[in-house]
Amino acid sequence: MSDEDQEQLAEGTLISHLIELRQRLIRAVAAIAVAFVPCAIFSNQLFTMIALPLLEKMPQGTSMIATNVVAPFMAPLKLALFLAIFLAMPVVLYQAWAFVAPGLYRHEKRFAAPLLLSSIVLFYAGAAFAYFIVFPLMFAFLTTTVPIGVQVMTDMTNYLDFVLLLFFAFGIAFEIPIATVLLAATGLVRVEAMAKHRGYVILGIFIVAAFLTPPDAISQSFMAVPMYLLYEVGIVMSRLLLKDKLARQRSERQDAGSS
């Protein structure tokens, strides 16, 4: 094959990959758009539901306020967009997986598919944990420590930015088992080293939780404790994975030797 033929083949392959990438992106955006329509229609009700953990803990006679003229319209619409992305995330991640899967080996596909599924489930679990467990306790603490003479009237836009940040933070925090397994599987960090340096990990987790949560011990602990427990789960999963990997390698060597 001449250099010109190789160049044309490489160019054709690149163009086909770009076309497939465009199709995958269009499908991902379409999934977000489809999810956005009902979220936008019920955006006000969805905002009320998201604000419920704070509204239930606010003192009698107080309410959430809007300090911007367009905030009553834009804040629920912004929430609708983020919820649409949140709901369409399995489709978006599947499109990303379908794009890179043909370039993976069989054992890599077998390893990556469960990780992709579990990462989606863990992210949703982290967001649910924040809404149902952390928010009620955190807002109960924050609204009862108000100085005398100060009336709690939270701006709706600031509140939305705050809860979206916490949703994202808890969703990412619950991905720790996936990160731990990836570190062990790629050989970047040994499982024995992760287990040996638990003390440094606990310190780092509490520092990260202090940055991602409000400045109170309750919300910090509610993020740090699950993060550490999930870290331990990741260590257990890594050991099981490496054990299975070693067993498979021994089996392959035995098959190669017998042949």
User: Checking phi first, is residue 153 left (phi over 0); if not, alpha (psi -120 to 50) or beta?
Assistant: beta
Number of H-type helices and E-type strands within the chain? 10, 0
- How many domains would you assign to the chain? 1
Give a yes or no: residue 21 inside a domain.
yes
Integer angstrom CA distances of residue 234 from 124, 161, 230: 18, 30, 6
Residue 25 lies in a domain: yes
Give a yes or no: residue 26 inside a domain. Answer: yes
Report if residue 255 sits inside a domain: no
- 52, 115, 143, 168 from 151: Cα distances, Å: 18, 47, 10, 29
Q: Is residue 258 part of a domain?
A: no
Stated pTM of the model: 0.81
Residue 96: which residues within 8 A CB-CB, separation 6 or more? 24, 28
Mean per-residue pLDDT, 211-239: 85
- Mean pLDDT over 187-214 rounds to 86
Between CA 208 and CA 202 the distance in angstroms is 10
Q: Is 14 among the domain residues?
A: yes
Domain residues for the domain of 207 are 3-146+153-250
3-state helix, strand, coil in the chain (%, to 5): 85, 0, 15
Token digits of residue 115: 């990780």
pLDDT single digits (tens) 54-107: 988 887 878 899 988 999 999 999 999 999 999 998 998 888 888 877 776 676
Decide if 199 is inside a domain: yes
DSSP 36-72: HHHHHHTHHHHHHHHHHHHHTTSPTT---B--STTHH
- 257 in a structural domain: no
